[in-house]
Structure 1
Amino acid sequence: MDVNMTRPDNATILMLRDPAIAVVLPAVYSLVALVSIPGNLFSLWVLCRHIGPKTPSVIFMINLSITDLALACVLPFQIHYHCNGNHWVFGVLLCNAVTVAFYANMYSSILTMTCISVDRFLGVVYPLASARWRRRRYALAACAATWLLLLAALSPLARTDLTYAVDALGIVTCFDVLKSNMLPSVATWAAFLFTLFVVLFLVPFVVTVACYTATILALLRSADPHGRAQRRRAVSLAAVVLLAFVACFAPNNFVLLVHMQC
């Protein structure tokens, strides 16, 4: 996405004309949709039918699957958009819905993984003291609070016309070029992006890193000789999840932060 607050410059025009976009992005989105839709439907079937939403971890996993499924369901619109020369034909409301779905997926995944890290931390470091809090109703409340926070944070995108007519190319873009009056001022746009970065990424990122670090250290300090292999697997899993969190979410959020300078 190349965001330009006034008129699209030459770099933006070249990006919109780039034939590789019409091949690479639809191919990637198609692969994601083909894998994600059946995969998450199967995951929901297993989690809800055979395991049941009885523990916080399962509830958080169900929330992740629903989030990913919602994103996969709007990908066909993005595929058509890029195959059609970055020309959006579905109107303003659907453009807003698809854009919000993309950001909601990313930030819901971040917040849910943060909830999972807190749950793991409490279960490993404070198993007895946290037992009353690691219950189904609190996990459901955490998921509901997550979505309320997301709806509030992303409401400016949902209420704004994110389409832009690029007369030089005869196309209408969807969130690739933004109107200069989309928000009251450039400062407001910068404040909006900075709030997203801090509240929905930086704070959850710090909490997740702290929780997994403390969890790994607690597992490594465990004195039980019979659970050595299990501890190694738990430490490896925590490290992999933490690495995935950084690799998957950090780059896009730092790019978003850079757009404050645009």
Structure 2
Amino acid sequence: MATFDNNESTLFNTSAFYCKFQEDFKYILLPVSYALVFVIGLALNATALYVIVFRTKRWKPSTIYMFNLTMCDTLYIFTLPFLIYYYADENDWPFSEPFCKLIRFLFYANLYGSILFLCCISLHRFVGICYPVRSLHWVSARQARLVSVAVWACVLFCQAPVLYFSRTRDVDGERVCYDTTSPELFDDFLVYSSVVSVLMFALPFMVVMVCYGLMVRKLLEPGWGSEGGIEGREGGLAAHRSKQKSVKMIIIVLAAFMLCFLPFHLTRSLYYSFRYLRQVNPAQISCSLLEASSVAYKVTRPFASANSCLDPILYFLAGQDARSNLTKKKKSALVKPTGVSQSLTTQL
């Protein structure tokens, strides 16, 4: 059976089949991109956490989901300095194997935690827009806390196998911290990775797309949020603000999925599949095809990391009181909305 070297970029076996990749670019691309994400993401997420924790008096369900999303991004960012050093030193891991397992676990656990909490935020907004009256009974801060606990439990359970698969190995005087697993466990890892990709990316992505499709259709209805009379005009203004926030959220979340998560998962799935097929039948997958898929996978890694910089923008642009909480300026002449519009502003 074919196996892979420490860089997971060279295919070899004991027979005549041998693939050598030239991927020195990753020793520049990954450290530089991760460093940028670390600096920018840490500043943005630290600001978001400060506003949520110290400047937000009333935690609505959306605040709870956003807090958990920001925590995922922050924990994810804290793993980057170790990976920056690792790749800058050309795959030479200076720490122990348990620490390698921990870093890989935190890296992927918080990546998928971000995906699931983005899905929760999208579902919450969907219920508020499409079922505004029922959302008063369906959505509450207590329920949001319970959902958040369930999401964390799901993420920890699904990512626990990473602690088993992640390994280190001494090769040519260097210690390698595998991004996937050791070569002899790759077949089992492929099955695990495929299941995780479906459950923690493909399904949430489908849910988000369906929710946003229904939300857009609802928001485009001519009479959405309009009522008669003075109170109706006031409620209509509140509904208009809610509509603007919903549109901003749709754009940012779709950008996160389409630009950050989708390319990463597509290229990773292709690379893993080609790598497996090459092991089973080397004549079926050429070295050039395998190398191209490996390069594409590594190029899209920074896109997945960049999501931690997009999520705080979601909070500051689409959050209800983010900017006012940050500046501590209270707006005067606030009009209390009624009816449908009131349910939107209080629950979203």
In structure 1, C-alpha distance between the alignment counterparts of 2:2 and 2:154, rounded to whole Å: 26
Give the SS at the match of 2:135: coil
Instruction: State the AA in 2 paired with 1:149.
Output: C
Label 1:233 to 1:143 Cα distance change in 2 as closer, same or farther (>3 A): closer
For 1:218, the equivalent position in structure 2 comes to 218
How far residue 161 of structure 1 moved from its aligned partner, in angstroms, is 4.2
For 1:257, the equivalent position in structure 2 comes to 269
1:92-136 C-alpha deviation (Å, 9 max, x unpaired): 111111111221122111100110111001001111112222111
Identify which of 63, 71, 78 aligns with 1:58: 63
Give the SS at the match of 2:152: helix
Instruction: State the AA in 2 paired with 1:180.
Output: P
Instruction: State the AA in 2 paired with 1:30.
Output: A
How far residue 57 of structure 1 moved from its aligned partner, in angstroms, is 0.9
Number of aligned residue pairs: 251
How far residue 243 of structure 1 moved from its aligned partner, in angstroms, is 3.1
Alignment partner of 1:179 is 2:176: no
In structure 2, C-alpha distance between the alignment counterparts of 1:112 and 1:84, rounded to whole Å: 34
In structure 2, C-alpha distance between the alignment counterparts of 1:104 and 1:12, rounded to whole Å: 31
Identify which of 134, 143, 148 aligns with 2:153: 148
Label 1:249 to 1:161 Cα distance change in 2 as closer, same or farther (>3 A): closer
Matches within 5 A, 1:1-262: 6-8=3-5, 9=10, 14-15=22-23, 18=24, 20-52=25-57, 54-167=59-172, 170-176=173-179, 178-182=181-185, 186=187, 188-223=188-223, 224=225, 226=236, 230=241, 231=243, 234-258=246-270, 259-262=272-275
Unpaired segments ≥5 residues, structure 1: none
Label 1:124 to 1:95 Cα distance change in 2 as closer, same or farther (>3 A): same
Unpaired segments ≥5 residues, structure 2: 12-18, 227-235, 276-348
In structure 1, C-alpha distance between the alignment counterparts of 2:209 and 2:4, rounded to whole Å: 40
TM-score by length of 2: 0.66
1:162-200 C-alpha deviation (Å, 9 max, x unpaired): 223333xx32222246323336xx2x3332112111100
The answer as to whether partners of 1:56 and 1:134 remain within 8 angstroms in 2 is: yes
Aligned residues: CA RMSD: 2.4
Instruction: State the AA in 2 paired with 1:179.
Output: S
